[in-house]
Amino acid sequence: MGMAEIDDPFGAARRDDGVLRCPWQGEKVPMLLRHDEVRRAAKDWHTFSSDAPFRVPIPSEEHLRSVRQLPIEVDPPDHGDYRRLVEPLFLRARQPDFVARVEAIVDRLLDAALSGGETEIVSGFALPLQSRALAVLLDVPDTEADTWIGWGVHVFHGDDGETKARQLEAYLAGCFDRAAAAPGDDFFSLLTRATFRGRPLTRAEQLGFANLAFAGGRDTIIHSVACALGHLADTPADLEFLRADADRIVHAAEEFFRVFMPLSLIGRVCPEATVVHGVPVPPGGRVALGWASANLDETVFDDPLEIRLDRRPNPHVAFGFGPHLCLGAAHSRTVMKALLGRLCRRVERIEVVARRDRVERTAAFTRRLGYDELVVRMIPR
Protein backbone atom coordinates (compact mmCIF):
# COMPACT_ATOMS: atom_id res chain seq x y z
CA MET A 1 0.00 0.00 0.00
CA GLY A 2 1.59 3.22 -1.09
CA MET A 3 0.67 5.49 1.80
CA ALA A 4 1.16 8.62 -0.30
CA GLU A 5 -2.14 7.55 -1.88
CA ILE A 6 -5.01 8.07 0.56
CA ASP A 7 -8.05 5.85 0.26
CA ASP A 8 -11.42 7.66 0.18
CA PRO A 9 -14.29 5.25 -0.50
CA PHE A 10 -16.78 7.87 0.76
CA GLY A 11 -16.06 10.74 -1.63
CA ALA A 12 -18.80 10.19 -4.20
CA ALA A 13 -21.51 9.77 -1.57
CA ARG A 14 -20.19 12.71 0.46
CA ARG A 15 -20.41 14.98 -2.57
CA ASP A 16 -23.83 13.58 -3.56
CA ASP A 17 -26.31 13.33 -0.69
CA GLY A 18 -23.81 13.11 2.18
CA VAL A 19 -24.88 9.74 3.54
CA LEU A 20 -24.13 6.05 3.12
CA ARG A 21 -26.75 3.45 3.95
CA CYS A 22 -24.94 0.71 5.84
CA PRO A 23 -26.49 -2.64 6.74
CA TRP A 24 -25.08 -3.72 10.10
CA GLN A 25 -26.29 -6.78 11.99
CA GLY A 26 -29.72 -6.62 10.38
CA GLU A 27 -30.01 -2.87 10.97
CA LYS A 28 -29.89 -0.20 8.25
CA VAL A 29 -27.63 2.51 9.65
CA PRO A 30 -27.25 5.84 7.81
CA MET A 31 -23.67 7.11 7.95
CA LEU A 32 -23.08 10.87 7.99
CA LEU A 33 -20.11 11.82 5.81
CA ARG A 34 -19.66 15.60 5.73
CA HIS A 35 -17.40 17.42 8.15
CA ASP A 36 -19.94 19.98 9.37
CA GLU A 37 -22.71 17.42 9.82
CA VAL A 38 -20.49 14.95 11.66
CA ARG A 39 -19.34 17.66 14.06
CA ARG A 40 -22.87 18.93 14.56
CA ALA A 41 -24.19 15.44 15.32
CA ALA A 42 -21.30 14.75 17.71
CA LYS A 43 -22.44 17.71 19.83
CA ASP A 44 -26.17 16.95 19.64
CA TRP A 45 -26.46 14.22 22.24
CA HIS A 46 -30.20 14.76 22.63
CA THR A 47 -30.79 13.56 19.05
CA PHE A 48 -27.76 11.29 18.67
CA SER A 49 -27.17 9.68 22.05
CA SER A 50 -24.21 7.69 23.38
CA ASP A 51 -26.30 6.28 26.24
CA ALA A 52 -26.31 2.86 24.62
CA PRO A 53 -24.19 0.13 26.24
CA PHE A 54 -22.36 -2.02 23.66
CA ARG A 55 -23.96 -0.17 20.69
CA VAL A 56 -21.67 2.85 20.29
CA PRO A 57 -19.13 0.72 18.38
CA ILE A 58 -20.34 -0.51 15.00
CA PRO A 59 -20.65 -3.50 14.82
CA SER A 60 -22.00 -3.64 18.38
CA GLU A 61 -20.10 -5.50 21.08
CA GLU A 62 -22.67 -7.30 23.23
CA HIS A 63 -20.83 -10.56 22.56
CA LEU A 64 -17.42 -9.10 23.39
CA ARG A 65 -17.85 -7.47 26.79
CA SER A 66 -20.12 -7.51 29.81
CA VAL A 67 -19.70 -3.87 30.90
CA ARG A 68 -20.59 -0.43 29.58
CA GLN A 69 -17.46 1.41 28.43
CA LEU A 70 -16.94 4.64 30.37
CA PRO A 71 -17.20 7.48 29.78
CA ILE A 72 -17.87 6.94 26.08
CA GLU A 73 -21.22 5.17 26.47
CA VAL A 74 -23.03 7.78 28.56
CA ASP A 75 -24.38 11.25 27.78
CA PRO A 76 -23.94 14.54 29.64
CA PRO A 77 -24.15 15.33 32.49
CA ASP A 78 -23.09 11.80 33.55
CA HIS A 79 -20.37 11.82 30.92
CA GLY A 80 -18.64 14.90 32.32
CA ASP A 81 -18.79 13.63 35.90
CA TYR A 82 -17.29 10.29 34.90
CA ARG A 83 -14.67 11.89 32.66
CA ARG A 84 -13.38 14.18 35.39
CA LEU A 85 -12.47 11.16 37.52
CA VAL A 86 -9.69 10.08 35.14
CA GLU A 87 -8.91 13.13 33.02
CA PRO A 88 -5.99 14.35 35.19
CA LEU A 89 -4.22 11.01 34.73
CA PHE A 90 -4.59 11.11 30.94
CA LEU A 91 -3.37 14.72 30.79
CA ARG A 92 -0.10 13.62 32.41
CA ALA A 93 0.94 12.84 28.85
CA ARG A 94 1.71 16.55 28.37
CA GLN A 95 4.24 16.69 31.20
CA PRO A 96 7.97 16.88 30.35
CA ASP A 97 8.91 13.82 32.40
CA PHE A 98 6.29 11.75 30.59
CA VAL A 99 7.54 12.97 27.20
CA ALA A 100 11.11 12.04 28.15
CA ARG A 101 10.09 8.53 29.19
CA VAL A 102 8.25 7.97 25.90
CA GLU A 103 11.25 9.26 23.95
CA ALA A 104 13.40 6.74 25.81
CA ILE A 105 11.03 3.94 24.78
CA VAL A 106 11.29 5.07 21.15
CA ASP A 107 15.07 5.15 21.42
CA ARG A 108 15.22 1.58 22.72
CA LEU A 109 13.08 0.39 19.83
CA LEU A 110 15.21 2.32 17.35
CA ASP A 111 18.37 0.83 18.87
CA ALA A 112 17.08 -2.61 17.91
CA ALA A 113 15.83 -1.52 14.49
CA LEU A 114 19.08 0.25 13.60
CA SER A 115 21.32 -2.57 14.74
CA GLY A 116 20.96 -4.19 11.35
CA GLY A 117 18.52 -6.44 9.60
CA GLU A 118 14.81 -6.06 9.15
CA THR A 119 12.07 -4.88 11.51
CA GLU A 120 8.39 -5.77 11.29
CA ILE A 121 6.72 -2.52 12.23
CA VAL A 122 3.15 -3.43 13.24
CA SER A 123 3.75 -6.11 15.87
CA GLY A 124 7.51 -5.59 16.30
CA PHE A 125 7.65 -1.81 16.74
CA ALA A 126 4.25 -0.09 16.95
CA LEU A 127 2.73 -2.64 19.35
CA PRO A 128 5.63 -2.49 21.86
CA LEU A 129 5.70 1.31 21.60
CA GLN A 130 1.98 1.57 22.33
CA SER A 131 2.13 -0.97 25.16
CA ARG A 132 5.16 0.45 26.95
CA ALA A 133 3.94 4.04 26.58
CA LEU A 134 0.58 2.98 28.02
CA ALA A 135 2.33 1.42 31.01
CA VAL A 136 3.96 4.80 31.68
CA LEU A 137 0.63 6.61 31.30
CA LEU A 138 -1.20 4.22 33.65
CA ASP A 139 1.75 4.27 36.08
CA VAL A 140 2.10 0.49 36.23
CA PRO A 141 5.31 -1.59 36.01
CA ASP A 142 6.80 -2.00 32.55
CA THR A 143 6.54 -5.77 32.98
CA GLU A 144 2.77 -5.39 32.52
CA ALA A 145 3.47 -4.20 28.97
CA ASP A 146 5.04 -7.59 28.23
CA THR A 147 1.66 -9.18 28.97
CA TRP A 148 -0.17 -6.69 26.74
CA ILE A 149 2.28 -7.24 23.88
CA GLY A 150 1.51 -10.94 24.14
CA TRP A 151 -2.14 -10.24 23.36
CA GLY A 152 -1.19 -9.21 19.84
CA VAL A 153 -2.31 -6.21 17.85
CA HIS A 154 -6.07 -6.61 18.28
CA VAL A 155 -7.85 -7.21 21.60
CA PHE A 156 -11.30 -7.98 20.16
CA HIS A 157 -10.79 -8.61 16.45
CA GLY A 158 -10.25 -11.94 14.78
CA ASP A 159 -11.70 -15.41 15.01
CA ASP A 160 -10.81 -15.67 18.72
CA GLY A 161 -12.25 -12.26 19.60
CA GLU A 162 -14.74 -13.54 22.17
CA THR A 163 -12.10 -15.61 23.94
CA LYS A 164 -9.68 -12.68 24.02
CA ALA A 165 -12.42 -10.38 25.32
CA ARG A 166 -13.13 -12.72 28.24
CA GLN A 167 -9.41 -12.95 28.98
CA LEU A 168 -9.16 -9.15 28.99
CA GLU A 169 -11.99 -8.80 31.51
CA ALA A 170 -10.42 -11.46 33.75
CA TYR A 171 -7.06 -9.70 33.56
CA LEU A 172 -8.59 -6.32 34.43
CA ALA A 173 -10.56 -7.79 37.34
CA GLY A 174 -7.30 -9.16 38.73
CA CYS A 175 -5.68 -5.73 38.42
CA PHE A 176 -8.49 -4.15 40.42
CA ASP A 177 -8.33 -6.87 43.06
CA ARG A 178 -4.61 -6.23 43.56
CA ALA A 179 -5.11 -2.45 43.60
CA ALA A 180 -7.85 -2.72 46.22
CA ALA A 181 -5.61 -4.89 48.41
CA ALA A 182 -2.48 -2.73 48.02
CA PRO A 183 -3.37 0.66 46.51
CA GLY A 184 -0.78 2.89 44.88
CA ASP A 185 -0.83 5.84 42.48
CA ASP A 186 -1.64 3.87 39.34
CA PHE A 187 -4.75 3.90 37.12
CA PHE A 188 -6.34 0.89 38.80
CA SER A 189 -5.80 2.25 42.31
CA LEU A 190 -7.21 5.62 41.28
CA LEU A 191 -10.43 3.94 40.21
CA THR A 192 -10.71 1.82 43.36
CA ARG A 193 -10.57 5.07 45.39
CA ALA A 194 -12.72 7.20 43.06
CA THR A 195 -16.22 8.27 44.01
CA PHE A 196 -19.04 9.13 41.64
CA ARG A 197 -21.48 11.61 43.17
CA GLY A 198 -20.56 10.61 46.67
CA ARG A 199 -20.38 6.83 46.29
CA PRO A 200 -17.55 4.46 45.35
CA LEU A 201 -17.44 3.19 41.80
CA THR A 202 -18.92 -0.25 41.32
CA ARG A 203 -16.70 -2.98 39.94
CA ALA A 204 -18.65 -2.78 36.66
CA GLU A 205 -17.87 0.95 36.43
CA GLN A 206 -14.19 0.33 37.17
CA LEU A 207 -14.08 -2.33 34.45
CA GLY A 208 -15.89 0.02 32.07
CA PHE A 209 -13.12 2.60 32.33
CA ALA A 210 -10.37 0.01 32.00
CA ASN A 211 -12.01 -1.80 29.10
CA LEU A 212 -12.07 1.41 27.08
CA ALA A 213 -8.48 2.29 27.99
CA PHE A 214 -7.21 -1.08 26.74
CA ALA A 215 -9.54 -1.72 23.80
CA GLY A 216 -10.14 1.83 22.55
CA GLY A 217 -6.59 3.15 22.89
CA ARG A 218 -4.76 0.19 21.39
CA ASP A 219 -5.43 -0.25 17.68
CA THR A 220 -5.50 3.51 17.12
CA ILE A 221 -1.90 4.25 18.17
CA ILE A 222 -0.54 1.07 16.59
CA HIS A 223 -2.22 1.97 13.30
CA SER A 224 -1.10 5.61 13.33
CA VAL A 225 2.53 4.75 14.12
CA ALA A 226 2.72 2.08 11.41
CA CYS A 227 1.12 4.31 8.79
CA ALA A 228 3.39 7.25 9.60
CA LEU A 229 6.47 5.05 9.24
CA GLY A 230 5.11 3.60 6.00
CA HIS A 231 4.57 7.08 4.59
CA LEU A 232 8.06 8.29 5.53
CA ALA A 233 9.51 5.18 3.92
CA ASP A 234 7.56 5.81 0.72
CA THR A 235 8.24 9.56 0.77
CA PRO A 236 11.81 10.15 2.02
CA ALA A 237 11.55 13.84 1.12
CA ASP A 238 9.03 14.23 3.93
CA LEU A 239 11.51 12.85 6.46
CA GLU A 240 14.04 15.41 5.21
CA PHE A 241 11.36 18.11 5.42
CA LEU A 242 10.82 17.32 9.12
CA ARG A 243 14.53 17.02 9.82
CA ALA A 244 15.09 20.54 8.49
CA ASP A 245 12.89 22.14 11.15
CA ALA A 246 11.78 20.38 14.34
CA ASP A 247 8.87 22.81 14.71
CA ARG A 248 7.24 21.10 11.74
CA ILE A 249 6.70 17.91 13.73
CA VAL A 250 3.62 19.26 15.55
CA HIS A 251 1.75 19.93 12.30
CA ALA A 252 3.00 16.70 10.72
CA ALA A 253 1.60 14.68 13.61
CA GLU A 254 -1.83 16.27 13.13
CA GLU A 255 -1.73 15.55 9.41
CA PHE A 256 -0.89 11.90 10.02
CA PHE A 257 -3.82 11.66 12.43
CA ARG A 258 -6.11 13.24 9.82
CA VAL A 259 -5.26 11.05 6.86
CA PHE A 260 -4.61 7.80 8.71
CA MET A 261 -7.81 7.87 10.75
CA PRO A 262 -8.11 4.26 11.99
CA LEU A 263 -11.74 4.42 13.14
CA SER A 264 -13.94 4.82 10.07
CA LEU A 265 -17.11 5.45 12.04
CA ILE A 266 -18.74 5.40 15.44
CA GLY A 267 -22.36 4.91 16.39
CA ARG A 268 -25.00 7.01 18.07
CA VAL A 269 -28.51 5.90 19.05
CA CYS A 270 -31.58 8.04 18.37
CA PRO A 271 -33.88 8.11 21.43
CA GLU A 272 -36.71 9.33 19.23
CA ALA A 273 -37.58 8.71 15.61
CA THR A 274 -35.70 10.98 13.24
CA VAL A 275 -34.83 11.26 9.56
CA VAL A 276 -31.24 11.52 8.32
CA HIS A 277 -30.89 12.59 4.69
CA GLY A 278 -34.22 10.99 3.88
CA VAL A 279 -33.42 7.79 5.77
CA PRO A 280 -35.93 7.15 8.59
CA VAL A 281 -34.34 6.08 11.88
CA PRO A 282 -36.76 4.48 14.38
CA PRO A 283 -36.57 5.07 18.14
CA GLY A 284 -33.54 3.11 19.33
CA GLY A 285 -32.10 2.99 15.81
CA ARG A 286 -28.52 3.97 15.13
CA VAL A 287 -26.72 6.58 13.07
CA ALA A 288 -23.01 6.37 12.22
CA LEU A 289 -20.69 9.37 12.38
CA GLY A 290 -18.15 9.03 9.57
CA TRP A 291 -14.93 10.34 11.09
CA ALA A 292 -12.71 9.18 8.23
CA SER A 293 -14.95 10.74 5.60
CA ALA A 294 -15.17 14.03 7.51
CA ASN A 295 -11.36 14.19 7.58
CA LEU A 296 -11.31 14.08 3.77
CA ASP A 297 -14.06 16.63 3.14
CA GLU A 298 -12.88 18.73 0.22
CA THR A 299 -14.97 21.71 1.36
CA VAL A 300 -12.81 21.92 4.51
CA PHE A 301 -9.39 20.57 3.46
CA ASP A 302 -7.63 21.73 0.28
CA ASP A 303 -6.57 18.68 -1.76
CA PRO A 304 -7.62 16.35 1.09
CA LEU A 305 -6.05 13.27 -0.50
CA GLU A 306 -2.63 14.90 -0.43
CA ILE A 307 -0.47 14.51 2.68
CA ARG A 308 0.82 17.96 3.60
CA LEU A 309 2.99 17.87 6.69
CA ASP A 310 2.67 21.64 7.10
CA ARG A 311 -1.12 21.74 6.66
CA ARG A 312 -2.67 24.66 8.52
CA PRO A 313 -5.40 24.99 9.61
CA ASN A 314 -6.18 21.33 10.17
CA PRO A 315 -9.57 20.96 11.92
CA HIS A 316 -9.60 17.16 11.71
CA VAL A 317 -11.88 14.99 13.83
CA ALA A 318 -9.47 12.09 14.32
CA PHE A 319 -10.02 12.36 18.08
CA GLY A 320 -13.75 12.93 17.79
CA PHE A 321 -15.54 16.17 18.52
CA GLY A 322 -17.74 17.65 21.20
CA PRO A 323 -18.10 16.27 24.73
CA HIS A 324 -16.69 12.88 23.76
CA LEU A 325 -13.36 14.22 22.51
CA CYS A 326 -10.91 11.36 23.03
CA LEU A 327 -9.39 11.15 26.53
CA GLY A 328 -6.24 9.68 24.99
CA ALA A 329 -5.61 12.52 22.53
CA ALA A 330 -2.72 14.02 24.52
CA HIS A 331 -1.14 10.59 24.90
CA SER A 332 -1.44 9.84 21.17
CA ARG A 333 0.08 13.19 20.26
CA THR A 334 3.00 12.69 22.63
CA VAL A 335 3.75 9.24 21.21
CA MET A 336 3.60 10.45 17.60
CA LYS A 337 5.72 13.55 18.20
CA ALA A 338 8.29 11.53 20.16
CA LEU A 339 8.50 9.03 17.31
CA LEU A 340 8.93 11.70 14.62
CA GLY A 341 11.48 13.62 16.66
CA ARG A 342 13.69 10.61 17.32
CA LEU A 343 13.42 9.44 13.70
CA CYS A 344 14.68 12.81 12.50
CA ARG A 345 17.69 12.61 14.81
CA ARG A 346 18.65 8.99 14.27
CA VAL A 347 17.29 7.61 10.98
CA GLU A 348 18.66 8.56 7.57
CA ARG A 349 16.00 6.70 5.61
CA ILE A 350 13.52 3.83 5.85
CA GLU A 351 13.39 1.14 3.18
CA VAL A 352 10.32 -1.04 2.74
CA VAL A 353 11.09 -4.74 2.40
CA ALA A 354 7.56 -6.15 2.39
CA ARG A 355 4.05 -5.02 3.17
CA ARG A 356 0.61 -6.53 3.47
CA ASP A 357 -2.36 -4.18 3.50
CA ARG A 358 -5.04 -4.23 6.11
CA VAL A 359 -8.46 -3.79 4.50
CA GLU A 360 -11.77 -2.96 6.19
CA ARG A 361 -14.61 -4.63 4.31
CA THR A 362 -18.26 -3.83 4.97
CA ALA A 363 -21.45 -4.18 2.96
CA ALA A 364 -21.33 -0.43 2.23
CA PHE A 365 -17.63 0.28 1.62
CA THR A 366 -14.15 -1.20 1.40
CA ARG A 367 -11.33 0.85 2.86
CA ARG A 368 -7.58 0.26 2.93
CA LEU A 369 -6.63 0.71 6.54
CA GLY A 370 -2.88 0.63 6.95
CA TYR A 371 -1.02 -2.63 7.32
CA ASP A 372 -1.36 -6.10 8.68
CA GLU A 373 2.39 -6.35 8.15
CA LEU A 374 5.10 -3.85 7.27
CA VAL A 375 8.71 -4.99 7.11
CA VAL A 376 11.35 -2.26 6.82
CA ARG A 377 15.07 -1.69 7.04
CA MET A 378 16.11 1.47 8.90
CA ILE A 379 19.35 3.14 7.83
CA PRO A 380 21.11 5.09 10.61
CA ARG A 381 22.38 8.63 10.19
In the predicted model, what is the mean pLDDT of residues 307-311? 97
pLDDT (0 to 100) of residue 26: 83
Looking only at the bridges linking them, the beta strands covering 286-289 and 27-32 are parallel
pLDDT (0 to 100) of residue 161: 82
Q: Is the pLDDT of residue 1 over 70?
A: no
Q: Is the pLDDT of residue 215 over 70?
A: yes
What amino acid occupies position 8? D
Q: Cβ distance 373 to 265 under 8 Å?
A: no
Q: Is the pLDDT of residue 359 over 80?
A: yes
Distance CA 119, CA 113 (A): 6
Task: Give 296's DSSP letter.
Answer: T
In this structure, of 120-124, 141-145, 362-366, the range with the lowest mean pLDDT score is 362-366
Share of the chain above pLDDT 90, in %: 89
Q: Is the pLDDT of residue 181 over 90?
A: yes
Q: What tens digit of pLDDT does each residue of 319-335 get?
A: 999 999 999 999 999 99
Q: Is the pLDDT of residue 2 over 70?
A: no
Q: Considering the chain, what is the average pLDDT of its residues?
A: 95
pLDDT (0 to 100) of residue 260: 95
Write the CA distances from 69 to 15, 64, 182, 206, 209, integer angstroms.
34, 12, 25, 9, 6
pLDDT (0 to 100) of residue 116: 79
pLDDT (0 to 100) of residue 5: 64
Burial of 118 (0-12, 13-18, 19+ CB in 10 A): middle
ω into residue 53 within 30 of 0, thus cis?
Answer: no
pLDDT (0 to 100) of residue 154: 84
Q: What tens digit of pLDDT does each residue of 220-265 get?
A: 899 999 999 999 999 999 999 999 999 999 999 999 999 999 899 9
In the predicted model, what is the mean pLDDT of residues 66-81? 97
Q: What tens digit of pLDDT does each residue of 105-122 get?
A: 999 999 999 997 999 999
**Rg of the Cα trace of the chain?**
20
Whether the pTM exceeds 0.85: the reply is yes
In the predicted model, what is the mean pLDDT of residues 290-306? 97
In the predicted model, what is the mean pLDDT of residues 176-197? 97
Residue 201 CB contacts under 8 Å (≥ 6 apart), including other chains: 85, 191, 192, 194, 195
Domain 11-380 maps to which CATH number in 3.40.920.10, 1.20.1080.10, 1.10.630.10, 1.25.60.10? 1.10.630.10
Share of the chain above pLDDT 70, in %: 99
ω into residue 59 within 30 of 0, thus cis?
Answer: yes
